[in-house]
Amino acid sequence: MISDDIRKRIEHDFGSEGAKQVGAALEHFIESYQSNYGTQPSDRIIRCIVHLAEGKLESLRHQIKAALSDWRDVIYWAEYNRKDKRIHDFRLPFK
């Protein structure tokens, strides 16, 4: 289940038509993540993926693939700058 704040951000970033494709891709990601790690991904990981995608479906797919390989990478890329300073905290809902 994808949280309401994430759904709203997807709609904003990808539009109503793109949101359907993103929703399907994220549902598949959640299933794959469960198979790989034995648990559901946190909302934080999903927020990081959506943030990094910047409204581009191909980028979303790339971030999903990266998160399945090592979820810590997408958190680092989304939340920290090049000087390792936290600039976002996606443990919190999108505003």
Structural contact between residues 77 and 52, judged by C-beta atoms closer than 8 angstroms: yes
Domain residue extents for the chain: 4-79
| Count of CA atoms in the C-beta half-sphere (13 A) of 14 | 25
| Count of CA atoms in the C-beta half-sphere (13 A) of 64 | 18
Specify the pTM: 0.96
Give the pLDDT of residue 38. Answer: 96
| pLDDT average, residue stretch 56-83 | 98
pLDDT in tens, 4-19: 999 999 999 999 999 9
